[in-house]
Amino acid sequence: MPEEEPIVYDTQSQLPEKVVSEGSMLWNKTGSWRYIKPRYMNKVPPCNQGCPAGNDIENFIQQIGLGDPAAAWRILKEENPFPKVCGRVCYHPCESVCNRDEFDRAIAIHALERFAAEHAPPDERPAKLRPDSSKRVAIVGSGPAGLTAAYHLARMGHSVTVFEAKEKPGGLMRYGIPGYRLPQDVLEAEIDDIRSLGVKMKCKQVVGRDVAWDEMKAFSAVFLSIGVHKNRLLGFASEGARGVRSGLEFLDSVARGDVPALGEKTVIVGGGNAAIDAARCALRLGSEVSIYYHRSRKEMPAFEEEVYEAEREGVAIHFLAQPVDIITEDNRAVGFQFRKALLGEQDPSGRRTPVPIPGTEFDVSADTIITAIGETSDLAWLPPDLQTEQGRIVIDQFGLTNHPGVFAGGDTALTTHNVAYAIGSGKAAACAIDSSLNDKPIENFQDRIIVGGKGAVSVSRYLETGKAHAANDSSGQVVAFSELNLNYFEPQARRKTQKLSIAERMTGFEEVNGGLSDQHARLEADRCFHCGVCTLCDNCYVFCPDVAVTKNSQMPEGYEIVYDYCKGCGICVYECPRSAMIMEDE
Amino acid sequence: MRSNYPSEELMRPGHLGCQGCGGTMIMRHCLKALGADTICVIPASCWSIIAGQWPYSTLKVPILHTAFETAGAAASGVRAALDMKGKHETKVLAFAGDGGTFDIGLQSLSGAAERNEDIIYICYDNEAYMNTGIQRSSATPESAWTTTTPSTFPKEGPKKNIIQILTAHKIPYCATANVAWPEDLMAKVKIAGETKGTTFIHVLSPCPPGWKIPSEKSIEVARMAVHTKVFPLYEVINGEEYQINVEPKDLPVEAYLSAQGRFSHLDAKDIKQIQRRVDYEWKILLQRSMMESFHLNMD
Amino acid sequence: MKKVLMGNHAASWGVRLSRVKMIAAYPITPQTHIVEELSEMCADGSLDAKFLKVESEHSAMASVIAAETTGVRSFTASSSNGLALMHELLHWAAGARLPIVMVNVNRALAPGWNIWADQSDSLSQRDTGWVQLYVEDNQEVLDSVIQGYRVAEQVNLPVMICYDAFYLSHTYEPVDIPDQEQVDQWLPPFAPEYFLNPENPQAFNGLVMPDNYMEMRFNLHQAHEKAKTVVNDVGSAFGERFGRSYGAIEAVSCEDAELIVITSSSATSPARIVTQQLREKGMKIGLLKVRMFRPFPTEEIREILANAKKAVVIDRNFSWGKSGIFADEIRSVMANQSDAPVIFGYVAGLGGKSITPALIQEIVEEADRNDRPEALSIWKGMKA
């Protein structure tokens, strides 16, 4: 390029008569002044790291901000077959790690997820990503873990058969979560997406009873996601009395529409989600409901939001009440005796253990008692040498058990029991099963597929589709709040979703939470910091004093740093609102 | 995405500006706002060097390098010649530093403003004679260190209020601007370009070596100047109608001062004194912005 | 067309006939009539030019430089302290190789305030790179302005036309005003090769590093060398068209002269009378008018003085601590010349004192009497 060549006058007579320029300064490669240099480097937004289901949250929010919720849905579906479900029932740990929470309030990620999912094009279903492999995979249990594994394995080209003990697939999503939180047709639509990939759903097939474990050997791999369906017992002789039911059984019958007759006063024992769900169902069935929990509010395992809504609806929650016995008359429950407790030392879970106070027993009258103090798996039918521990199947990071070819996930293998974790475990196992079917150790992909440092897995990255988590740098560096340039953000109110009034709720099982309007969704999406992800805001381009940042649509970042001229001042990195650039040594 | 930032580059790379130089950013924004049909008049200043040595020029618009004190007059001369050639559309941009504006060039600027020459005058104010090695000018802020105002005897008296001097000429448009608000800066330059008569824009131009700040903090410090009200952003129409453009975040001046090495010798008492002056000036500006304009009262 | 004009208005007419497009000026006595008349001409439309009434001579020259760089023929006028204020920009104009023409009405510098004739102002600008012409009468004022543009635009050097305060500036003489059409044919429109042009964006007057600065300056020197010829050529060409020829010098009866009187500007006119009278009395005397001071007509002066025994230089100026300036210049160009005459340096007429025929005669007689000057500079016409 002649413009980049210095002009040399060999003799005096070649000089122009006037002091007039005849060329540009482009020959002057000011890049030589530099000793450190900027680089575009997308990082992991905390929400993406914080999502156990491995959603590319930042990315789908960006699409909503750009006015394309269908694209947002497609991004979600790359990782998670259940955005409609998660947009409703997930306890959104992503929001509690959202950097925006330190600025004003966290982004309403769950509401945006639901918004995106509800804007899925009606006739569009996720397609297979690979041709048929002719490999067969069995999945035992059709809860979120099993169906997630089925969905991804089917997209990977494998032939998947799901064995489900109950009439319909869905597991606790169908039989555990009441309709006012998750309407059945919503769940059904997302299961249909999985069916459309050719996944065979064999319902009312109990492995170990209707189907022998040995039949599993016909499959190249098995994924055990059998869930937790056994109610923990209080251990009282009175537990068999009429009017006493387990939480899971109660929720199951409500889900089937087999509405049980309740008395006027229902007492629920427990503090988890099943207790809260049972309480809110009982309210809708016309009973007066009280919950008794043996620790304090702080230790409750139920989602805070659910507890809040239950109390708004009229559930009375009593804390530090240790069950003593069920009071019966003629083998029929008429009340419950509790004893008051104090909080003592922390237990291994970090929660303080209740210590009963002798002589503080008190009686509560009730005609229905629901016990919801925890659930466990029935593992008796499994091969005896399958390694278990405290009622859970023991797995590695990617779901592999001590049996080659046998993988497990979901509540039966995890200590944390919720839909998001179950989905995450289904994805990890799907990747591990696929790689084992291809005779490649999953460890080879580990660096690529883990998002951040909390174990969230990206199937999109595993398959290198480039559709989700493509922007995040594989270094796994997560953006801290202090790394953002907050000058580019103004406080904005978090958009609220509509909720039914209490009176409306009590008329039945209609969904309580509404979605966001188009306008509110856009506004909410615009609040997103897009931590660590370049949004082409142009700050680097506009502020470069050396015109060394150029727009270049050929580059993955959309910009190109012209290192011939970049003097290394660092303004681009400092002024990046979202820490999507770094300075590094030459 | 700033889709409104024009892609045409009228300032090329390879120039001789220091790392993080505010003056180069200002030039780039100004030329983007004015377009290629512009003639640039540059008196002695950092830009005499930044533009590059003969036989080169970093700009894609013509430059007339001229003597230190002559920006106003030279721009007037270019304007007169263009008008005689019928080139009324070509814009004349005088681009001068604070020395060439507040000090040695004030007379010729005043002359041009009084004649209401159809020129755009941009003062990129880095608050000292940076090109000659950081000597104080009348734009140097109170109590600042420079190489002629050592920290044991720092700059006495407040910075000259150049906008007040220019508004006293009743020119159609005066404004302040700042590199941290490029859209605002460019919008103002655009208005200046479209306005007949003399327009004057005073742009705070962070200077990493002169202010003793790290180069990456150039924009950050400039931004703080606005948010601490040290350098408010406003416009003055016809010398009388004031409009404040950016609401400051009301940070204490200490935030601005402590970010810069040239103020590192200040003690709490000095800072309090500066805060008092800033508060006072802000109050005056607020009052001015609330006054009805003379022209409005004419109706 | 003949008109009776004061010298300043003759200058204005020269500007008008040259179709100057841009004028910038600041008032100073005794130059003001020039620009007053020009503003009338601009106002009545007889001159299509933009007149910037700037706030100082410094700005006048700055804006004229800018206008010329933009490619428009420009003009300014000044005097004395005003010219001194322009000093920095006189360097710019020449260094930028701009064909500006200005008029300087020679006036003494303060203090004490003195508005009368004295060449010290323009001679102080000797080394700025301008062509300087010192003219003798009002006709020559007008003619020299027009010639100035043709010279300037041929060699890309600025030209300063200098004439004495009041003796010319305020004195009315009949002046022949050429037809505009004829001037238009003789002086083509200004069409510079380089000018400020957004379609060909170039930077003017930027930083020049040591590797090229001296070469640049050598260019300027060469332009001055060329101007020596061009001034004469243009003066002859002017004569062919308008009947009045001019040159860098004018030698009167110098061929056989043993004593040659050397003058410039308005002092030439009384010297013409004195030398003619003495010649009629049989004295071998000649007169050399030095019209062009920069570039200095070295070769022509050496030729004229080669056969003379004495050269008597009358200076209306002085270089402090040394000598009259024309005298000094002539001494320097005659140095190392084997047949150089004895050079007598006289200083007279500073600050508006008259240089009368009687004074010139006294000077000539004294030089004629003495073999050698009694001092390097002899001050004449002062109180005892």
- Give DSSP secondary structure letters for A423-463: HHHHHHHHHHHHHHHTT--GGGGHHHHEETTTTEE-HHHHH
Determine what percent of chain B is predicted with pLDDT higher than 90: 94
Q: Which segment of A18-22, A283-287, A443-447, A480-484 scores lowest on mean pLDDT?
A: A443-447
Rounded CA separation A40/A557 (Å): 7
Contact state of C52 with B39 under an 8 Å Cβ cutoff: no
Phi, psi of A527 (to 5 degrees): -75, -20
Tell me the residues of chain C between 166 and 195 that have a Cβ less than 8 Å away from chain A: 193-194
Rounded CA separation C315/A199 (Å): 115
Specify the pLDDT at position B81.
98
Cβ(A264)–Cβ(A365) below 8 Å: no
Q: Which residues of B touch C208 (CB under 8 A)?
A: 53-54
Is the CB of residue B218 less than 8 Å away from at least one CB of chain A?
yes
What does DSSP say about strands C249-252 and C285-290: parallel, antiparallel, or unpaired? antiparallel
- What's the pLDDT tens digit per position in B186-231? 999 999 999 999 999 999 999 999 999 999 999 999 999 999 999 9
- What's the pLDDT tens digit per position in A187-196? 999 999 999 9
Nearest CA distance, C203 vs chain A (angstrom): 5
B299 — pLDDT class (breaks 50, 70, 90): very low
- State the Cα torsion B179-B180-B181-B183 to the nearest 10°: 70
Contact state of A18 with C215 under an 8 Å Cβ cutoff: no
Nearest-by-CA chain B residue for A545: B25
Rounded CA separation B108/B74 (Å): 9
Mean pLDDT of chain A: 93
Nearest CA distance, C219 vs chain A (angstrom): 7
Specify the pLDDT at position A1.
45
Closest CA to A156 of A438, A472, A407: A438
Contact state of A16 with C194 under an 8 Å Cβ cutoff: yes
CA distances from B250 to B260, B275, C106 (A): 19, 11, 61
Of B1, B51, B58, the CB nearest to A536: B1
- What's the pLDDT tens digit per position in C181-220? 999 999 999 999 999 999 999 999 999 999 999 999 999 9
User: Where is A3: in which H helix or E strand?
Assistant: none
Q: Which residues of A touch B15 (CB under 8 A)?
A: 25, 28, 30, 546
Residue C275 has pLDDT above 50, yes or no: yes
Partnered with residue B41 across adjacent β-strands are: B64, B94
Partnered with residue C347 across adjacent β-strands are: C315, C379
Using CB atoms, which chains have 3+ pairs under 8 A with B? A, C
Specify the pLDDT at position A351.
85
Nearest-by-CA chain C residue for A7: C212
C381 — pLDDT class (breaks 50, 70, 90): very high
Is the CB of residue B216 less than 8 Å away from at least one CB of chain A?
yes
Count of Cβ atoms closer than 10 Å to residue A71 Cβ: 18
What does DSSP say about strands A406-408 and A221-224: parallel, antiparallel, or unpaired? parallel
Of C21, C22, C66, the CB nearest to B64: C66
Q: Where are the beta strands (DSSP E) in A172-212?
A: 200-202
Show the tokens assigned to B252: 């204490």
In the DSSP assignment, the letter for residue B245 is -
* Interface confidence: ipTM more than 0.90: yes
- Over range A211-239, report the average pLDDT: 92
Global pTM reads 0.91
- Over range B10-29, report the average pLDDT: 97
- What's the pLDDT tens digit per position in C106-132? 999 999 999 999 999 999 999 999 999
Rounded CA separation A290/A302 (Å): 15
- What's the pLDDT tens digit per position in C297-338? 999 999 999 999 999 999 999 999 999 999 999 999 999 999
- Over range A546-552, report the average pLDDT: 94
Rounded CA separation A178/A277 (Å): 7
Of B53, B84, B107, the CB nearest to C207: B53
Alpha helices (H) along A285-418: 304-313
- What's the pLDDT tens digit per position in A132-165? 999 999 999 999 999 999 999 999 999 999 999 9
